[in-house]
Amino acid sequence: MTPLETLIREMIVETGPISIEIYMKLALGHLEHGYYTSKMPLGESGDFITAPEISQMFGELIGLWCVAVWRAMGAPRPFLLVELGPGRGSLMADALRATKIAPDFLSAIDLHLVETSEILRRSQRAALAASGLVPKWHTSVEDLPAGPMIIIANEFFDCLPVRHFVRGVDGWHERLVGLDGTGQLCFGLAPGPDPGLAMPGEPGEVLEAGFAAMHVMAGLAARLAAQGGALLAIDYGYDGPPRGETLQAVQRHRFADPLADPGGADLTAHVDFRNLARAARASGAAVHGPVPQGEFLARLGLHERAVALRKRANARQCAAIDAALDRLAGDGTAAGSASMARLFKALAVTAPGLDVPPGFEGAA
């Protein structure tokens, strides 16, 4: 048993079952034993791979997106360039390298990274050393200073904890993590219905609520509406009515039991884009998209960028570029395709009145 599991069991014995939100928060963010705080989650030897780790093209295109948005904002100097959950720092390193063609943009950047993990902060520092910019780190979005800003969040919102409610005859009962007869962690339900949830539902239906993600989005959208700027969120998720439960654990590139190894496996939930968009609009910001990642990257010029890279690549590198193209934006028909093009979506949130950001032209 991991030290974190011991700690969670003790907590439950002392004060009773805990919500999935608290379980996720502990499993991912516990300062000593949490998943993100205690290990290197990303890469071949880690548990999962993300778009910026698949290809440099991803970060480069997002860098150019930032330049276009900054110009649309009236090119403020300085402005805050913010990344939420920068992982190994690859996206930002690729973005900054690509924006060398816009020295006025580069010299206006005040770089801020929101990251809870010390291990990942170290990777980020190393990855960004060549950029010549010195980032400032924050543990929470609340700590970001005021000012016009461009915020990038790739696979950040999916790490924020969710709550589950199960429909019973008398209302919605919160799903909790407790202990079974043998002292193992298990799921159960709160005995009484949640007084705050009044919407109808079918018996047995599960409602997954990303209140934490909506709270973060509401706060950032209010800043953008008041101080100017834009946010780009890319994540896997759905745009439509709630889908039921999507909580998942991933360990060494495979799905795992979410309760089996708290702190040892990544826990995420699909992002509910409709509710995120709602939270942003309610804070006075404008919303664009979501659009499927494949479409978004194609509009930013992914295929043109691949052609340019291929020109100075050998055969092996060309094959890697083609594989990356398929993974990031393929139509899913290639043999063995693990395309992210449709499951992943891009959403932009901007100050009202800002031009439609690149990649979202014609999106609702």
Size of the site for ligand SAH (CB under 6 A): 20
Minimum CB–partner distance for residue 186 and ligand SAH (Å)? 25
Distance CA 310, CA 344 (A): 25
- Candidates 5, 53, 60, 326: give the one binding ligand SAH (CB under 6 A): 53
DSSP 40-91: --BSTTSSB--HHHH-HHHHHHHHHHHHHHHHHTT--SSEEEEEES-TTSHH
Minimum CB–partner distance for residue 267 and ligand SAH (Å)? 10
SS3 36: helix
- Interaction between residue 272 and ligand SAH (CB under 6 A): no
Near ligand SAH in 156-195, by CB under 6 A: 156, 159
Residue 151, both tokens: 């915020």
Which residue number is nearest to ligand SAH in terms of Cβ?
85
- Interaction between residue 117 and ligand SAH (CB under 6 A): yes
Minimum CB–partner distance for residue 41 and ligand SAH (Å)? 6
Minimum CB–partner distance for residue 91 and ligand SAH (Å)? 6
Near ligand SAH in 64-93, by CB under 6 A: 85-87, 91
Minimum CB–partner distance for residue 45 and ligand SAH (Å)? 15
Minimum CB–partner distance for residue 70 and ligand SAH (Å)? 20
CA angle, 108 as apex, 104 and 113 as ends, to 5°? 135
Look at residues 312, 334, 49 and name the one whose alpha carbon lies nearest to residue 322. Answer: 334
Identify which range of 150-158, 255-263, 290-298, 313-321 contacts ligand SAH by CB under 6 A: 150-158
Near ligand SAH in 308-327, by CB under 6 A: none
Identify which range of 154-162, 167-175, 257-265, 279-287 contacts ligand SAH by CB under 6 A: 154-162
- Interaction between residue 114 and ligand SAH (CB under 6 A): yes
Distance CA 219, CA 153 (A): 14
- Interaction between residue 63 and ligand SAH (CB under 6 A): no
- Interaction between residue 262 and ligand SAH (CB under 6 A): no
- Candidates 56, 99, 131, 154: give the one binding ligand SAH (CB under 6 A): 154
Identify which range of 14-22, 155-163, 173-181, 317-325 contacts ligand SAH by CB under 6 A: 155-163
Distance CA 27, CA 10 (A): 14
- Interaction between residue 289 and ligand SAH (CB under 6 A): no
Name residues whose C-beta falls within 8 Å of residue 227's C-beta, 6 or more positions apart in sequence. Answer: 146, 147, 148, 149, 351
Minimum CB–partner distance for residue 340 and ligand SAH (Å)? 11
Do the beta carbons of residue 177 and residue 18 sit within 8 Å?
yes
Q: Where are the alpha helices (DSSP H) in the chain?
A: 3-15, 20-29, 35-38, 51-54, 56-72, 90-98, 103-106, 118-128, 211-227, 273-282, 293-300, 302-311, 315-329
- Candidates 52, 210, 262, 289: give the one binding ligand SAH (CB under 6 A): 52
Minimum CB–partner distance for residue 154 and ligand SAH (Å)? 4
Tell me which residue has tokens 């995420």.
268
Near ligand SAH in 21-40, by CB under 6 A: 28-29, 36
Residue 192, Cβ density class (10 Å: 0-12 exposed, 13-18 middle, ≥19 buried)? exposed
- Interaction between residue 236 and ligand SAH (CB under 6 A): no
Half-sphere exposure (CA, 13 Å, Cβ side) for 50? 20
Residue 72, both tokens: 């649309």
- Pick the closer one to ligand SAH by CB: 99 or 124: 124
- Candidates 4, 20, 42, 349: give the one binding ligand SAH (CB under 6 A): 42
Distance CA 8, CA 19 (A): 12
Q: Which spans of this chain sit near ligand SAH (rule: CB under 6 A)?
A: 28-29, 36, 42, 50, 52-53, 85-87, 91, 114-117, 120, 154-156, 159
